[in-house]
Amino acid sequence: MQVDLRILRFDPERDERPHWESYSVEADPKLDRVLDLLHRVKWEQDGTLTFRRSCAHGVCGSDAMLINGRNRLACKLRVEQLGTRRITVAPLPGLPVVKDLVVDMDGFFDKLRSVQPFLINEGPPPERERLQSPADRAVYDDTTKCILCAACTTSCPSFWAQPSYVGPAAIVAAHRFIFDTRDQGGDERLEILADKDGVWRCRTIFNCTDACPRGIRITQAILEVSAAIVERGV
């Protein structure tokens, strides 16, 4: 079938502001994903169209974009799932646009780094690995699945209203280590997240949870971090 694909275009060297452009693209709704349609436009109609993608299989997190009003991975969304032949694609909201569908992720990654998303343990290294029970591992299993696509943070109205909010993706990354029994940096991270731009900016709106392509229970993770701040008296 023919799909009417509308893409929000912006070339900083040519345009004063973003504008919509329409493309008619042949698609097999059962097989083609939105990423396939973007490829078809780029390869067959306009080679200047710019977007990020790498793995094309939902693993690298590089092709999150706003598709028919919701943040999704273009490589994980088949045309059939949208239930319409009119498709709009725009860059992730709330981040500066570099060109077309490419946004500047520097601020997003700065926030991620601010919560120290790595194992902190000053103890002597063990002979072999640091052991952990399956039950202790299960506590943070969900938040290990993040692929850093930014779909959550950029769908959050609290982040749109206050861009200094650390955002759900950084809290997910912190959660993964705060509840890891082998880690010793939990209180330090909780202090960072107890700041005015930390977890208290979350208003439990749930857009983040809806947007996550990995199905992570993000709002639940944020509430667990908030509870730990209170329980540990940070």
Is position 59 an interface residue for ligand FES (rule: CB under 6 A)? yes
Nearer to ligand FES among residue 149 and residue 221 (C-beta): 149
**Rounded distance, CA 101 to CA 91, Å?**
4
Kindly state the smallest distance separating residue 145's Cβ from ligand SF4, in Å.
Answer: 7
Among positions 166-195, residues that touch ligand F3S (CB under 6 A) are 168
State yes or no: residue 58 binds ligand FES (CB under 6 A): yes
Nearest to 27, CA basis, from 3, 56, 49: 3
From the list 32, 63, 100, 224, which residue makes contact with ligand FES (rule: CB under 6 A)? 63
Query: Using the rule CB under 6 A, which residue among 126, 204, 220, 227 binds ligand F3S?
Result: 204
Residue number, 147 or 229, with CB nearest to ligand SF4: 147
- Total of chain residues touching ligand SF4, rule CB under 6 A: 16
Nearest to 168 by CA among 93, 219, 109: 219
Alpha carbon distances (Å) from 120 to 63, 191, 230: 31, 15, 22
Establish if 164 lies at the interface with ligand F3S (CB under 6 A). Answer: no
β-bridge partners, 89: 7, 67
Q: Is 188 exposed, middle or buried (0-12, 13-18, 19+ CB in 10 A)?
A: middle
Cα 44 from Cα 25, distance rounded (Å): 10
CB of residue 12 to ligand FES, shortest distance in Å: 24
Q: Which of 195, 202, 197 is nearest to 224 (CA)?
A: 202
21 burial level (CB within 10 Å; 0-12, 13-18, 19+): middle
Closer to ligand SF4 by CB, 41 or 151: give it: 151
Residue 23 bridge partners (DSSP):
5
Answer yes or no whether residue 56 interacts with ligand FES by CB under 6 A.
Answer: yes
Among 97, 158, 213, 214, binds ligand F3S (CB under 6 A): 158
Q: Where along the sequence are the contacts to ligand SF4 (CB under 6 A)?
A: 61, 146-152, 169, 172, 211-214, 216, 218
Give me the residues that bind ligand FES (CB under 6 A), please.
53-56, 58-63, 73, 75
Point out which residues bind ligand F3S (CB under 6 A).
156, 158, 168, 202-208, 218-219, 222
